[in-house]
């Protein structure tokens, strides 16, 4: 395909790409806007956990009310329990008082009955008799009542002198026993005595001392139980006052808490709602730059923050839409500039290829012309001797070999670009491979009246892992390059030696050398220095040599004789000119 047609097709392709890029830019804006919406939605989901200031206040108020109700209930239950406790104490006291009164009454009845028996009282049937057995039962019931009170005191932890009550009950029982024994004795003595004497003796021996002691014991019991009942009444009075005071205090606290919460909620809700409503109206009217000033760390503060963020995003989206066309135009300009740059690069590539094919044609045409010229001269000359024919054939063979090497260079270059060629590394004698390359290139050097020398130290062999065919071609490329820049009668020296455990191969010529600005680029493909352009090279040979050496894991570099002090000293010692270039190769030895 012609180069102009290819450039035109490339231009059309780039224009299509630019149009696609413009459309893609618009789609990208839409996609970005969609992504922004998704991200905002994710942010909203992430922020669903609002600050809990207002909710906390509501919960706190509810908690306080519930706590007050619980405290009131607990206080009431506690007061009721204490009241029951005090009533039980009073009940025990009243029960013991009643039991003591009953025992006293029964003892008195027992005494009256015994007196009536002493005087043969005629209306005995009207008396309520009380036998010792009944009194003993009543004493047993008193003991049970005291035991119940003892159990009650132990269960409730109440402080009470139960032992004193037990001792008092024992005293009553002792007094009754003495009365009963004394009454029994008087009954035995009653038949031998007059009625008056019997009554007088009964009062003296039975009633007087024991009745006084019994009355004193009963008074003490009554007094103690009355004091205990009085104490219970006082405790009930204090309990009533405490419950009343606690209930009133809780009621006041509850009332104040409800009033305070109502005021707090009114201030925390009504004012922020009004501010939010004003902001919504302003933004709805188109003032997207309006922001709500509500510096609070609660739900309303969060709503205001989200509202401001929404307004900011709306403003940003509006600005993005306004600038979309400008950015699209800028993108088109950038794509157009890239298209122009690409077209310029295509023109440069076309120019480089044109020059390359021109150089290749000239490079191949020269040896072909020499071949034809030598053959025609040899055929036309009728006086040519056998030696002349041999010389002509040598020049033909040398130029044919040069032509083959150039074709191999082109083939190697194509394969290296495609990555198809692979080096087959194996152990080989490096100096023998280099020597073979020198022998192959010697005919071409001789045909150009250039001397070619090969120097290797003694009979030492250098063993390395190399691809013999490719490495031989690499050395031939360097020799051909040196021949191209040499004058008639110049000398090219190829040396192989060891340096720091590596093989060092050097190709030294006596040509004009390499320009300083060209030294970093001479191994670039298609590159030609000014001197190389004069000699119409292709700019491929050194690039191929660099590719081969790199594939062997080696190093290759170039330098001028005048840039190397050691070269200058060697040239001065051997009376050789101090101009020329040297290309060196280093590869690892086994």
* C-alpha–C-alpha distance, residues 285 and 380, integer Å: 106
- What single string gives the DSSP state of each residue in 441-467? HHHHHHHTT-EEEEE--TT---EEEE-
Closest to 434 measured CA to CA, from 503, 489, 385, 383: 503
According to DSSP, the residues that pair with 452 across neighbouring strands are 492
Contacts of residue 253, defined as CB under 8 A and 6 or more positions apart, other chains included, come to 68
Helix (H, G, I), strand (E, B) or coil at 354: helix
Joined tokens for residue 47: 């922020």
Check the CA dihedral 152-157-161-166 and report its sign. positive
**Given the DSSP bridges, would you call strands 491-499 and 451-455 parallel, antiparallel or unpaired?**
parallel
> What domains can be seen in the chain, in order of their start residue?
3-51+297-368 (no CATH), 88-234 (1.20.120), 419-588 (3.30.565.10)
Contact 503, 462 (CB under 8 A): yes
pLDDT of the chain along its 590 residues, tens only? 444 444 444 444 433 443 444 444 444 444 455 445 444 444 443 444 445 566 777 777 778 778 878 887 887 788 777 777 777 777 777 787 888 888 888 888 877 777 777 665 555 555 566 778 888 888 888 888 888 878 877 777 666 667 777 777 888 888 878 787 877 777 777 666 666 776 677 777 777 767 777 777 877 777 777 777 788 788 888 888 888 888 888 888 878 878 877 787 777 777 788 888 888 888 888 788 888 887 777 777 888 888 888 888 888 888 888 888 788 888 889 899 999 998 888 887 777 667 666 556 655 665 676 677 667 767 776 676 778 788 778 778 877 876 786 677 667 656 655 544 577 899 999 999 999 889 888 877 887 889 999 998 877 889 999 988 889 888 988 998 898 889 999 999 999 999 988 999 999 999 888 888 888 888 887 777 776 666 656 677 788 889 889 989 999 999 997 655 454 455 445 455 567 899 999 999 98
Kindly provide the b/e burial profile for residues 30-43, where b requires at least 16 CB atoms within 10 angstroms of the residue's own CB: eeeeeeeeeeeeee
C-alpha 321 chain-centroid distance = 36
The CA distance from 86 to 82, in Å, is 6
Q: Rounded to an integer, what distance in angstroms lies between the CA atom of residue 294 and that of residue 254?
A: 31
């Amino acid at each position: 395909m012609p180069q102009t047609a290819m450039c035109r097709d490339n231009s059309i392709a780039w224009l299509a790409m630019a149009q696609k890029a413009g459309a893609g830019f618009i789609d990208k804006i839409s996609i970005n806007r969609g992504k922004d919406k998704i991200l905002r939605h994710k942010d909203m989901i992430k922020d669903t956990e609002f600050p809990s200031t207002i909710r906390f206040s509501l919960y706190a108020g509810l908690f306080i009310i519930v706590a007050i109700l619980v405290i009131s209930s607990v206080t009431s239950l506690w007061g009721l329990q204490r009241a029951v406790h005090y009533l039980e104490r009073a009940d025990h006291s009243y029960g013991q008082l009643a039991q003591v009164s009953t025992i006293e009454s029964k003892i008195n009845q027992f005494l009256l009955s015994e007196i009536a028996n002493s005087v043969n009282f005629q209306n005995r049937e009207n008396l309520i008799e009380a036998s010792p057995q009944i009194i003993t039962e009543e004493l047993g019931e008193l003991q049970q009542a005291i035991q119940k009170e003892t159990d009650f005191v132990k269960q409730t932890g109440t402080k009470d002198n139960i032992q004193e009550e037990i001792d008092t009950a024992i005293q009553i029982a002792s007094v009754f026993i003495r009365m009963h024994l004394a009454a029994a004795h008087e009954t035995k003595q009653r038949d031998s005595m007059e009625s008056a004497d019997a009554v007088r003796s009964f009062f003296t021996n039975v009633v007087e001392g024991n009745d006084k002691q019994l009355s004193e014991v009963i008074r003490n019991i009554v007094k103690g139980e009355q004091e205990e009942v009085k104490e219970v009444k006082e405790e009930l009075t204090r309990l009533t006052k405490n419950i009343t005071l606690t209930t009133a205090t809780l009621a006041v606290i509850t009332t104040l808490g409800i009033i305070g919460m109502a005021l707090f909620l009114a201030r925390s809700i009504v004012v922020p709602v009004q501010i939010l409503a004003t902001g919504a109206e302003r933004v709805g009217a188109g003032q997207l730059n309006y922001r709500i000033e509500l510096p609070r760390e609660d739900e309303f503060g969060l709503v205001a923050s989200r509202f401001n963020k929404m307004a900011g995003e709306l403003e940003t989206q509006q600005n993005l839409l306004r600038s979309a066309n400008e950015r699209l135009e800028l993108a088109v300009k950038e794509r157009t500039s890239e298209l122009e740059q690409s077209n310029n690069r295509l023109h440069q590539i076309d120019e480089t290829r044109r020059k390359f094919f021109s150089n290749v044609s000239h490079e191949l045409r020269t040896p072909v012309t020499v071949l034809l010229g030598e053959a025609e001269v040899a055929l036309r000359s009728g006086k040519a001797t056998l030696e002349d024919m041999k010389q002509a054939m040598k020049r033909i063979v040398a130029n044919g070999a040069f032509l083959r090497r150039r074709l191999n260079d082109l083939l190697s270059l194509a394969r290296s670009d495609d990555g198809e060629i692979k080096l087959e590394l194996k152990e080989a004698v490096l100096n023998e491979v280099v020597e073979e390359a020198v022998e192959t290139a010697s005919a071409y050097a001789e045909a150009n009246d250039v001397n070619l020398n090969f120097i290797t130290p003694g009979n030492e062999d250098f063993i390395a892992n190399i691809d013999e065919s490719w490495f031989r071609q690499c050395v031939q490329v360097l020799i051909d390059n040196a021949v191209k820049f040499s004058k008639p009668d110049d000398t090219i020296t190829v040396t192989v030696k060891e340096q720091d455990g590596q093989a060092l191969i050097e190709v030294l010529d006596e040509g004009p050398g390499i320009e300083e600005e060209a030294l970093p680029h001479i191994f670039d493909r298609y590159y030609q220095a000014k001197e190389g352009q004069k000699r119409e090279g292709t700019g491929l040979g050194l690039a191929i040599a660099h590719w081969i050496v790199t594939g062997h894991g080696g190093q290759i570099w170039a330098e001028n004789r005048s840039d190397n002090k050691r070269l200058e000293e060697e040239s001065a010692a051997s009376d050789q000119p101090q101009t020329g270039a040297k290309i060196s190769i280093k590869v690892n030895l086994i």
